[in-house]
Structure 1
Amino acid sequence: MKRLSSSKRVVSNEVKGDIEWELRPGGMLVQKRNMADAASAPMIKIKVSHGSYHRDIAVPAQSTFGDLKRVLAQETGLEPKEQRLLFQGKEKDDEECLHMVGVKDLSKVVLLEDPASKERKLVEMNSNQSVLKACEEVAKVRSEVDKLSEKVIAVEANVRAGTKVAENEFLVLTELLMVQLLQLDTIEADGEAKVQRRVEVRRVQGLVDTLDHLKARNSNPFSSSCNAVPTSTKWEAFELSSTRITQDWEVFD
Protein backbone atom coordinates (compact mmCIF):
# COMPACT_ATOMS: atom_id res chain seq x y z
CA MET A 1 0.00 0.00 0.00
CA LYS A 2 1.24 3.45 -0.88
CA ARG A 3 2.68 5.32 2.11
CA LEU A 4 1.17 8.77 2.71
CA SER A 5 3.10 11.64 4.25
CA SER A 6 1.87 12.57 7.74
CA SER A 7 2.45 16.24 6.89
CA LYS A 8 -0.30 16.15 4.29
CA ARG A 9 -3.28 18.09 5.70
CA VAL A 10 -5.99 17.66 3.07
CA VAL A 11 -8.15 14.54 3.12
CA SER A 12 -7.32 12.25 0.23
CA ASN A 13 -9.21 9.21 -1.01
CA GLU A 14 -7.79 6.09 -2.63
CA VAL A 15 -9.83 3.30 -4.19
CA LYS A 16 -8.30 -0.17 -3.83
CA GLY A 17 -10.64 -2.60 -5.51
CA ASP A 18 -14.07 -1.95 -4.00
CA ILE A 19 -12.71 -0.27 -0.87
CA GLU A 20 -12.49 3.50 -0.59
CA TRP A 21 -10.05 4.95 1.93
CA GLU A 22 -9.67 8.32 3.60
CA LEU A 23 -6.92 10.03 5.55
CA ARG A 24 -8.02 10.96 9.08
CA PRO A 25 -6.42 13.67 11.25
CA GLY A 26 -3.14 12.39 12.62
CA GLY A 27 -2.23 10.56 9.40
CA MET A 28 -4.32 7.41 10.00
CA LEU A 29 -5.57 5.78 6.79
CA VAL A 30 -8.95 4.13 7.32
CA GLN A 31 -11.82 2.85 5.25
CA LYS A 32 -14.08 5.73 4.30
CA ARG A 33 -17.30 5.82 6.28
CA ASN A 34 -20.43 5.53 4.18
CA MET A 35 -23.12 7.87 5.48
CA ALA A 36 -25.92 5.59 4.32
CA ASP A 37 -24.34 2.69 6.20
CA ALA A 38 -23.92 4.85 9.30
CA ALA A 39 -27.58 5.83 9.26
CA SER A 40 -28.63 2.17 8.99
CA ALA A 41 -26.16 1.02 11.67
CA PRO A 42 -27.44 -0.27 15.03
CA MET A 43 -28.45 2.47 17.47
CA ILE A 44 -26.70 2.92 20.79
CA LYS A 45 -27.60 5.00 23.82
CA ILE A 46 -24.97 7.35 25.20
CA LYS A 47 -25.24 8.80 28.68
CA VAL A 48 -24.44 12.49 28.30
CA SER A 49 -23.62 14.58 31.36
CA HIS A 50 -23.66 18.38 31.25
CA GLY A 51 -23.64 19.95 34.72
CA SER A 52 -26.98 19.02 36.25
CA TYR A 53 -28.19 17.83 32.84
CA HIS A 54 -28.20 14.04 32.35
CA ARG A 55 -29.84 12.34 29.42
CA ASP A 56 -29.57 9.24 27.25
CA ILE A 57 -28.98 10.17 23.61
CA ALA A 58 -29.62 7.60 20.87
CA VAL A 59 -27.34 7.75 17.81
CA PRO A 60 -26.12 5.28 15.17
CA ALA A 61 -23.18 3.25 16.46
CA GLN A 62 -20.90 4.47 13.65
CA SER A 63 -21.61 8.18 14.23
CA THR A 64 -18.83 10.69 14.77
CA PHE A 65 -18.54 13.04 17.72
CA GLY A 66 -19.54 15.78 15.28
CA ASP A 67 -22.79 13.90 14.62
CA LEU A 68 -23.35 13.61 18.36
CA LYS A 69 -22.81 17.37 18.76
CA ARG A 70 -25.51 18.10 16.17
CA VAL A 71 -27.97 15.93 18.09
CA LEU A 72 -27.01 17.59 21.37
CA ALA A 73 -27.50 21.03 19.80
CA GLN A 74 -31.21 20.24 19.47
CA GLU A 75 -31.36 18.98 23.05
CA THR A 76 -29.34 21.67 24.81
CA GLY A 77 -29.49 24.73 22.56
CA LEU A 78 -25.69 24.81 22.37
CA GLU A 79 -24.36 25.13 18.83
CA PRO A 80 -21.89 22.37 17.83
CA LYS A 81 -19.03 24.90 17.77
CA GLU A 82 -19.87 25.82 21.37
CA GLN A 83 -19.55 22.22 22.58
CA ARG A 84 -16.62 20.20 23.88
CA LEU A 85 -17.12 16.44 24.25
CA LEU A 86 -14.95 14.37 26.60
CA PHE A 87 -14.79 10.58 26.64
CA GLN A 88 -12.71 8.83 29.29
CA GLY A 89 -11.28 12.20 30.33
CA LYS A 90 -10.07 13.21 26.85
CA GLU A 91 -11.59 15.75 24.48
CA LYS A 92 -12.58 14.26 21.14
CA ASP A 93 -12.42 15.80 17.67
CA ASP A 94 -15.53 16.06 15.52
CA GLU A 95 -14.10 13.66 12.91
CA GLU A 96 -13.48 10.82 15.38
CA CYS A 97 -15.93 7.92 15.20
CA LEU A 98 -17.60 6.81 18.41
CA HIS A 99 -17.01 3.09 17.90
CA MET A 100 -13.34 3.57 16.98
CA VAL A 101 -12.50 5.13 20.37
CA GLY A 102 -14.48 2.61 22.36
CA VAL A 103 -17.87 4.31 22.79
CA LYS A 104 -20.48 1.58 23.24
CA ASP A 105 -24.06 1.29 24.37
CA LEU A 106 -24.53 3.15 27.68
CA SER A 107 -21.05 4.68 27.56
CA LYS A 108 -20.68 8.02 29.37
CA VAL A 109 -19.72 11.24 27.57
CA VAL A 110 -19.22 14.60 29.27
CA LEU A 111 -20.44 17.75 27.53
CA LEU A 112 -18.75 21.06 28.36
CA GLU A 113 -19.54 24.50 27.00
CA ASP A 114 -16.59 26.15 25.27
CA PRO A 115 -15.16 28.79 27.67
CA ALA A 116 -14.91 31.44 24.93
CA SER A 117 -18.55 30.90 24.03
CA LYS A 118 -19.56 31.08 27.68
CA GLU A 119 -17.67 34.35 28.13
CA ARG A 120 -19.23 35.80 24.97
CA LYS A 121 -22.73 34.95 26.18
CA LEU A 122 -22.00 36.54 29.55
CA VAL A 123 -20.86 39.76 27.86
CA GLU A 124 -23.98 39.78 25.68
CA MET A 125 -26.22 39.19 28.68
CA ASN A 126 -24.63 42.06 30.62
CA SER A 127 -24.95 44.29 27.57
CA ASN A 128 -28.64 43.43 27.18
CA GLN A 129 -29.25 44.17 30.85
CA SER A 130 -27.53 47.55 30.48
CA VAL A 131 -29.66 48.42 27.46
CA LEU A 132 -32.82 47.38 29.32
CA LYS A 133 -31.88 49.50 32.32
CA ALA A 134 -31.16 52.51 30.09
CA CYS A 135 -34.50 52.08 28.32
CA GLU A 136 -36.27 52.09 31.68
CA GLU A 137 -34.48 55.31 32.68
CA VAL A 138 -35.41 56.97 29.38
CA ALA A 139 -39.01 55.84 29.90
CA LYS A 140 -39.10 57.63 33.27
CA VAL A 141 -37.90 60.86 31.64
CA ARG A 142 -40.43 60.40 28.84
CA SER A 143 -43.23 60.19 31.40
CA GLU A 144 -42.16 63.49 32.97
CA VAL A 145 -41.79 65.15 29.57
CA ASP A 146 -45.32 64.01 28.67
CA LYS A 147 -46.66 65.95 31.67
CA LEU A 148 -44.64 69.04 30.79
CA SER A 149 -45.73 68.78 27.16
CA GLU A 150 -49.37 68.99 28.24
CA LYS A 151 -48.59 72.20 30.13
CA VAL A 152 -46.81 73.68 27.11
CA ILE A 153 -49.86 72.87 24.97
CA ALA A 154 -52.11 74.61 27.50
CA VAL A 155 -49.87 77.71 27.48
CA GLU A 156 -49.85 77.72 23.69
CA ALA A 157 -53.65 77.60 23.60
CA ASN A 158 -53.88 80.60 25.91
CA VAL A 159 -51.32 82.64 23.94
CA ARG A 160 -53.01 81.93 20.62
CA ALA A 161 -56.36 82.88 22.15
CA GLY A 162 -54.91 86.22 23.18
CA THR A 163 -54.88 85.45 26.91
CA LYS A 164 -51.97 87.02 28.75
CA VAL A 165 -49.72 84.42 30.40
CA ALA A 166 -47.49 85.25 33.37
CA GLU A 167 -43.81 85.51 32.40
CA ASN A 168 -42.85 83.29 35.31
CA GLU A 169 -44.80 80.41 33.80
CA PHE A 170 -42.50 80.34 30.77
CA LEU A 171 -39.44 80.41 33.04
CA VAL A 172 -40.65 77.58 35.27
CA LEU A 173 -41.61 75.30 32.37
CA THR A 174 -38.29 75.94 30.62
CA GLU A 175 -36.32 75.12 33.76
CA LEU A 176 -38.29 71.92 34.33
CA LEU A 177 -37.65 70.83 30.75
CA MET A 178 -33.93 71.52 31.14
CA VAL A 179 -33.86 69.34 34.25
CA GLN A 180 -35.14 66.46 32.11
CA LEU A 181 -32.58 67.27 29.42
CA LEU A 182 -29.81 67.05 32.00
CA GLN A 183 -31.28 63.79 33.27
CA LEU A 184 -31.09 62.34 29.75
CA ASP A 185 -27.45 63.40 29.58
CA THR A 186 -26.62 61.23 32.60
CA ILE A 187 -28.02 58.07 31.01
CA GLU A 188 -25.36 55.83 29.48
CA ALA A 189 -27.07 54.16 26.56
CA ASP A 190 -26.27 51.93 23.59
CA GLY A 191 -28.33 50.35 20.86
CA GLU A 192 -32.09 50.87 21.12
CA ALA A 193 -31.74 52.83 24.36
CA LYS A 194 -29.47 55.34 22.60
CA VAL A 195 -32.06 55.82 19.87
CA GLN A 196 -34.83 56.39 22.41
CA ARG A 197 -32.70 58.86 24.33
CA ARG A 198 -31.93 60.87 21.17
CA VAL A 199 -35.66 61.08 20.37
CA GLU A 200 -36.42 62.46 23.83
CA VAL A 201 -33.57 64.98 23.63
CA ARG A 202 -34.93 66.38 20.37
CA ARG A 203 -38.44 66.40 21.83
CA VAL A 204 -37.35 68.44 24.86
CA GLN A 205 -35.39 70.83 22.66
CA GLY A 206 -38.49 71.32 20.51
CA LEU A 207 -40.64 72.12 23.54
CA VAL A 208 -38.12 74.66 24.85
CA ASP A 209 -37.99 76.33 21.43
CA THR A 210 -41.79 76.44 21.38
CA LEU A 211 -41.82 78.16 24.76
CA ASP A 212 -39.33 80.76 23.50
CA HIS A 213 -41.58 81.52 20.55
CA LEU A 214 -44.69 81.70 22.73
CA LYS A 215 -42.94 83.97 25.24
CA ALA A 216 -42.02 86.42 22.48
CA ARG A 217 -45.57 86.38 21.16
CA ASN A 218 -47.01 86.75 24.66
CA SER A 219 -44.82 89.84 25.27
CA ASN A 220 -45.78 91.54 21.99
CA PRO A 221 -48.84 89.89 20.42
CA PHE A 222 -49.12 92.62 17.73
CA SER A 223 -45.52 92.39 16.47
CA SER A 224 -45.24 91.12 12.90
CA SER A 225 -42.06 89.31 13.88
CA CYS A 226 -44.15 86.99 16.05
CA ASN A 227 -45.33 85.18 12.94
CA ALA A 228 -41.82 83.83 12.57
CA VAL A 229 -40.39 81.17 14.84
CA PRO A 230 -37.51 82.80 16.74
CA THR A 231 -35.56 80.75 19.19
CA SER A 232 -33.38 82.16 21.92
CA THR A 233 -32.07 78.75 22.91
CA LYS A 234 -29.13 77.60 20.83
CA TRP A 235 -28.41 73.89 20.70
CA GLU A 236 -24.85 74.40 19.49
CA ALA A 237 -23.14 71.75 21.56
CA PHE A 238 -25.29 69.17 23.25
CA GLU A 239 -23.15 66.03 23.28
CA LEU A 240 -24.79 63.04 24.93
CA SER A 241 -21.44 61.30 25.18
CA SER A 242 -20.14 64.00 27.51
CA THR A 243 -21.53 66.01 30.39
CA ARG A 244 -21.23 69.38 28.67
CA ILE A 245 -24.31 71.26 27.51
CA THR A 246 -23.64 74.65 25.93
CA GLN A 247 -26.67 76.90 25.79
CA ASP A 248 -27.31 80.62 25.26
CA TRP A 249 -30.23 81.51 27.51
CA GLU A 250 -32.43 84.58 27.15
CA VAL A 251 -32.23 86.67 30.31
CA PHE A 252 -35.54 86.64 32.16
CA ASP A 253 -36.38 89.70 34.25
Structure 2
Amino acid sequence: MLVQKRDVGDASSGPMIKIKVSHGSYHHDITVPAHYTFGDLKRVLAHETGLQPKEQRLLFRGKEKEDMDCLDMVGVKDKSKIILLEDPASKEKKLEEMKKNQSLLKAYEAVAQVRAEVDKLSQKVVTLETMMRSGTRFADKEFVVLTELLMMQLLKLDTIEAEGEARAQRRIEVRRVQSFVDTLDNLKARNSNPFSNSNNSVSVTTKWETFESGLGSLCSPTVPLQTSTKITQEWELFD
Protein backbone atom coordinates (compact mmCIF):
# COMPACT_ATOMS: atom_id res chain seq x y z
CA MET A 1 0.00 0.00 0.00
CA LEU A 2 1.38 3.39 -1.04
CA VAL A 3 0.49 6.56 0.83
CA GLN A 4 1.34 9.93 -0.66
CA LYS A 5 0.77 13.43 0.69
CA ARG A 6 0.49 16.66 -1.23
CA ASP A 7 -0.22 20.15 0.08
CA VAL A 8 -1.71 22.58 -2.39
CA GLY A 9 -2.34 26.25 -1.76
CA ASP A 10 -1.93 28.11 1.50
CA ALA A 11 -4.05 29.33 4.39
CA SER A 12 -4.60 32.72 2.76
CA SER A 13 -6.62 31.07 -0.02
CA GLY A 14 -9.24 29.87 2.45
CA PRO A 15 -9.71 26.95 4.81
CA MET A 16 -7.73 23.84 3.89
CA ILE A 17 -9.08 20.33 4.11
CA LYS A 18 -7.28 17.00 4.00
CA ILE A 19 -9.10 14.34 2.03
CA LYS A 20 -8.26 10.71 1.35
CA VAL A 21 -8.52 9.58 -2.26
CA SER A 22 -8.68 5.83 -2.89
CA HIS A 23 -7.44 4.56 -6.24
CA GLY A 24 -7.52 0.78 -6.33
CA SER A 25 -5.07 -0.45 -3.71
CA TYR A 26 -3.47 3.00 -3.45
CA HIS A 27 -4.47 5.80 -1.09
CA HIS A 28 -3.49 9.43 -1.53
CA ASP A 29 -3.78 12.00 1.26
CA ILE A 30 -4.38 15.32 -0.47
CA THR A 31 -4.61 18.73 1.20
CA VAL A 32 -6.46 21.33 -0.86
CA PRO A 33 -8.52 24.49 -0.30
CA ALA A 34 -12.12 23.71 0.61
CA HIS A 35 -13.42 25.89 -2.24
CA TYR A 36 -11.64 23.77 -4.89
CA THR A 37 -13.78 22.14 -7.55
CA PHE A 38 -13.58 18.47 -8.47
CA GLY A 39 -11.93 19.62 -11.70
CA ASP A 40 -9.20 21.29 -9.62
CA LEU A 41 -8.83 18.12 -7.58
CA LYS A 42 -8.42 16.08 -10.77
CA ARG A 43 -5.53 18.30 -11.87
CA VAL A 44 -3.84 17.73 -8.51
CA LEU A 45 -4.40 13.98 -8.75
CA ALA A 46 -2.94 13.94 -12.28
CA HIS A 47 0.49 14.61 -10.76
CA GLU A 48 0.02 11.85 -8.20
CA THR A 49 -1.49 9.11 -10.36
CA GLY A 50 -0.35 9.86 -13.91
CA LEU A 51 -3.99 9.89 -15.05
CA GLN A 52 -5.02 12.93 -17.03
CA PRO A 53 -8.10 14.80 -15.70
CA LYS A 54 -10.25 13.56 -18.60
CA GLU A 55 -9.28 9.99 -17.70
CA GLN A 56 -10.51 10.34 -14.10
CA ARG A 57 -13.88 9.74 -12.50
CA LEU A 58 -14.34 10.99 -8.91
CA LEU A 59 -17.06 9.53 -6.70
CA PHE A 60 -18.21 11.03 -3.41
CA ARG A 61 -20.81 9.24 -1.31
CA GLY A 62 -21.41 6.79 -4.15
CA LYS A 63 -22.12 9.40 -6.82
CA GLU A 64 -19.87 10.70 -9.59
CA LYS A 65 -19.24 14.43 -9.37
CA GLU A 66 -18.96 16.94 -12.18
CA ASP A 67 -15.82 19.00 -12.70
CA MET A 68 -17.62 22.24 -11.78
CA ASP A 69 -18.92 20.92 -8.44
CA CYS A 70 -17.20 22.58 -5.46
CA LEU A 71 -15.87 20.35 -2.71
CA ASP A 72 -17.37 22.31 0.18
CA MET A 73 -20.71 22.78 -1.58
CA VAL A 74 -21.34 19.03 -1.92
CA GLY A 75 -20.28 18.26 1.64
CA VAL A 76 -16.60 17.33 1.29
CA LYS A 77 -14.96 18.07 4.64
CA ASP A 78 -11.69 17.40 6.37
CA LYS A 79 -10.90 13.65 6.34
CA SER A 80 -13.61 12.93 3.77
CA LYS A 81 -13.07 9.98 1.42
CA ILE A 82 -13.26 10.19 -2.36
CA ILE A 83 -12.93 7.28 -4.78
CA LEU A 84 -10.93 7.68 -7.97
CA LEU A 85 -11.74 5.44 -10.93
CA GLU A 86 -10.11 5.37 -14.33
CA ASP A 87 -12.54 6.09 -17.14
CA PRO A 88 -13.41 2.72 -18.82
CA ALA A 89 -13.15 4.14 -22.34
CA SER A 90 -9.74 5.60 -21.58
CA LYS A 91 -8.59 2.36 -19.99
CA GLU A 92 -9.73 0.35 -22.99
CA LYS A 93 -7.98 2.76 -25.34
CA LYS A 94 -4.74 2.36 -23.41
CA LEU A 95 -5.03 -1.41 -23.58
CA GLU A 96 -5.57 -1.24 -27.34
CA GLU A 97 -2.55 1.01 -27.77
CA MET A 98 -0.48 -1.31 -25.62
CA LYS A 99 -1.51 -4.33 -27.69
CA LYS A 100 -0.79 -2.42 -30.89
CA ASN A 101 2.66 -1.42 -29.68
CA GLN A 102 3.43 -4.97 -28.62
CA SER A 103 2.26 -6.27 -32.00
CA LEU A 104 4.36 -3.65 -33.79
CA LEU A 105 7.43 -4.54 -31.75
CA LYS A 106 6.88 -8.23 -32.46
CA ALA A 107 6.64 -7.51 -36.20
CA TYR A 108 9.86 -5.47 -36.13
CA GLU A 109 11.69 -8.30 -34.38
CA ALA A 110 10.35 -10.90 -36.83
CA VAL A 111 11.40 -8.84 -39.87
CA ALA A 112 14.82 -8.25 -38.32
CA GLN A 113 15.34 -11.99 -37.87
CA VAL A 114 14.46 -12.64 -41.52
CA ARG A 115 16.74 -9.80 -42.61
CA ALA A 116 19.66 -11.39 -40.77
CA GLU A 117 19.06 -14.74 -42.50
CA VAL A 118 18.69 -13.09 -45.91
CA ASP A 119 21.97 -11.24 -45.36
CA LYS A 120 23.74 -14.57 -44.80
CA LEU A 121 22.18 -16.12 -47.91
CA SER A 122 22.98 -13.05 -50.00
CA GLN A 123 26.68 -13.55 -49.25
CA LYS A 124 26.44 -17.05 -50.70
CA VAL A 125 24.75 -15.69 -53.83
CA VAL A 126 27.53 -13.13 -54.27
CA THR A 127 30.17 -15.84 -53.80
CA LEU A 128 28.57 -18.05 -56.46
CA GLU A 129 28.39 -15.17 -58.92
CA THR A 130 32.01 -14.16 -58.30
CA MET A 131 33.35 -17.69 -58.75
CA MET A 132 31.32 -18.21 -61.93
CA ARG A 133 32.87 -15.10 -63.43
CA SER A 134 36.26 -16.67 -62.88
CA GLY A 135 35.16 -19.77 -64.80
CA THR A 136 34.04 -22.06 -61.96
CA ARG A 137 31.03 -24.29 -62.63
CA PHE A 138 28.67 -25.76 -60.02
CA ALA A 139 26.16 -28.58 -59.78
CA ASP A 140 22.54 -27.46 -60.21
CA LYS A 141 21.91 -28.61 -56.64
CA GLU A 142 23.85 -25.60 -55.35
CA PHE A 143 21.37 -23.21 -56.97
CA VAL A 144 18.30 -25.25 -56.04
CA VAL A 145 19.18 -25.49 -52.34
CA LEU A 146 20.00 -21.80 -52.06
CA THR A 147 16.77 -20.86 -53.83
CA GLU A 148 14.75 -23.05 -51.46
CA LEU A 149 16.36 -21.40 -48.44
CA LEU A 150 15.43 -17.98 -49.79
CA MET A 151 11.86 -19.09 -50.46
CA MET A 152 11.60 -20.27 -46.85
CA GLN A 153 12.44 -16.73 -45.72
CA LEU A 154 9.81 -15.41 -48.11
CA LEU A 155 7.21 -17.66 -46.48
CA LYS A 156 8.23 -16.35 -43.06
CA LEU A 157 7.69 -12.78 -44.27
CA ASP A 158 4.21 -13.69 -45.52
CA THR A 159 3.21 -14.83 -42.02
CA ILE A 160 4.26 -11.56 -40.35
CA GLU A 161 1.32 -9.28 -39.57
CA ALA A 162 2.61 -5.72 -39.68
CA GLU A 163 1.33 -2.17 -39.92
CA GLY A 164 2.91 1.16 -40.79
CA GLU A 165 6.70 1.21 -40.83
CA ALA A 166 6.93 -2.49 -39.98
CA ARG A 167 4.92 -3.30 -43.11
CA ALA A 168 7.25 -1.13 -45.20
CA GLN A 169 10.28 -2.97 -43.80
CA ARG A 170 8.65 -6.31 -44.58
CA ARG A 171 7.97 -5.19 -48.17
CA ILE A 172 11.64 -4.24 -48.60
CA GLU A 173 12.76 -7.69 -47.48
CA VAL A 174 10.27 -9.39 -49.82
CA ARG A 175 11.75 -7.49 -52.75
CA ARG A 176 15.28 -8.38 -51.65
CA VAL A 177 14.46 -12.09 -51.54
CA GLN A 178 12.77 -11.96 -54.94
CA SER A 179 15.79 -10.19 -56.39
CA PHE A 180 18.19 -12.85 -55.09
CA VAL A 181 15.95 -15.64 -56.43
CA ASP A 182 15.98 -14.01 -59.88
CA THR A 183 19.76 -13.72 -59.70
CA LEU A 184 20.07 -17.42 -58.87
CA ASP A 185 17.82 -18.34 -61.80
CA ASN A 186 20.06 -16.39 -64.16
CA LEU A 187 23.21 -17.89 -62.68
CA LYS A 188 21.79 -21.40 -62.99
CA ALA A 189 20.98 -20.81 -66.66
CA ARG A 190 24.49 -19.50 -67.33
CA ASN A 191 26.00 -22.41 -65.42
CA SER A 192 24.08 -24.93 -67.55
CA ASN A 193 24.97 -23.25 -70.86
CA PRO A 194 27.99 -20.98 -70.36
CA PHE A 195 28.26 -20.18 -74.10
CA SER A 196 24.61 -19.34 -74.69
CA ASN A 197 25.22 -15.59 -74.65
CA SER A 198 28.17 -15.75 -77.07
CA ASN A 199 26.19 -17.89 -79.53
CA ASN A 200 23.43 -15.34 -79.57
CA SER A 201 25.85 -12.52 -80.31
CA VAL A 202 27.43 -14.43 -83.22
CA SER A 203 24.01 -15.15 -84.67
CA VAL A 204 23.04 -11.50 -84.55
CA THR A 205 26.33 -10.43 -86.13
CA THR A 206 25.91 -12.94 -88.92
CA LYS A 207 22.46 -11.61 -89.76
CA TRP A 208 23.70 -8.06 -89.88
CA GLU A 209 26.62 -9.07 -92.16
CA THR A 210 24.24 -10.85 -94.52
CA PHE A 211 21.94 -7.86 -94.61
CA GLU A 212 24.76 -5.39 -95.28
CA SER A 213 26.39 -7.52 -97.99
CA GLY A 214 23.62 -6.66 -100.42
CA LEU A 215 23.16 -10.24 -101.61
CA GLY A 216 19.43 -9.92 -101.29
CA SER A 217 19.35 -6.80 -103.43
CA LEU A 218 21.41 -8.49 -106.14
CA CYS A 219 19.05 -11.42 -106.39
CA SER A 220 15.92 -9.33 -106.68
CA PRO A 221 16.72 -7.55 -110.00
CA THR A 222 17.73 -10.85 -111.60
CA VAL A 223 14.17 -12.13 -111.98
CA PRO A 224 12.73 -8.97 -113.56
CA LEU A 225 15.72 -8.79 -115.91
CA GLN A 226 15.10 -12.30 -117.22
CA THR A 227 11.39 -11.59 -117.58
CA SER A 228 12.09 -8.39 -119.49
CA THR A 229 14.37 -10.21 -121.88
CA LYS A 230 11.79 -12.88 -122.50
CA ILE A 231 9.08 -10.36 -123.28
CA THR A 232 11.35 -8.56 -125.74
CA GLN A 233 12.00 -11.82 -127.53
CA GLU A 234 8.28 -12.55 -127.74
CA TRP A 235 7.62 -9.16 -129.34
CA GLU A 236 10.34 -9.85 -131.85
CA LEU A 237 8.68 -13.14 -132.78
CA PHE A 238 5.32 -11.38 -133.12
CA ASP A 239 6.74 -8.86 -135.57
TM-score by length of 2: 0.72
Structure 1: gaps (5+ residues): 1-35, 227-253
Distance across 2 between alignment mates of 1:148 and 1:225: 32
Deviates more, 1:113-122 or 1:215-224: 215-224
- Give the length in aligned residue pairs: 192
Runs of 4+ aligned structure 1 residues displaced above 4 Å come to 36-39
2:64 to 84, 91, 101: 91
Q: Which has the higher contact order (CA 8 A, sep 6+)?
A: 2
Tell me the distance in 1 between the aligned counterparts of 2:116 and 2:45: 47
| Match in the other structure for 1:124 | 97
Within the candidate set 110, 134, 147, 1:137 is matched to 110
**Structure 1 residue 210 displacement after superposition:** 1.9
Q: Distance in 2 between matches of 1:40 and 1:162?
A: 92
Equivalence for 2:6: none
Return 5+ residue gaps in structure 2 as ranges.
Answer: 1-8, 201-239
- The alpha carbon displacement at 1:93 in A equals 0.0
Superposed CA RMSD in Å reads 2.6
Q: Determine whether 1:64 maps to 2:54.
A: no
Cα shift at 1:42: 3.4
If you compute each CA radius of gyration, which structure gives the higher value, 1 or 2? 2
Identity score, percent: 73
Aligned residues of 1:45 and 1:57 also touching (Cα < 8 A): yes
CA-to-partner distance for each residue in 1:158-207, whole Å, 9 max, x for gaps? Answer: 12222223222111111111111112112222233322221211111121
- 1:212, distance to aligned residue in structure 2 (A): 2.3
Question: Do the aligned partners of residues 65 and 149 (structure 1) sit closer, same or farther apart at CA in structure 2, a change above 3 Å counting?
Answer: same
* Shift, 1:217, TM fit: 3.5
Alignment partners' CA distance in 2, 1:160 and 1:60: 85
What is the TM-score when the length of structure 1 is the normalising length?
A: 0.68
Looking at structure 2, the residues matched to 186 and 107 of structure 1 have their Cα atoms a distance apart, in angstroms, of 56
Q: Return the letter of the residue paired with 1:71.
A: V
Query: 1: distance between equivalents of 2:54 and 2:130?
Result: 63
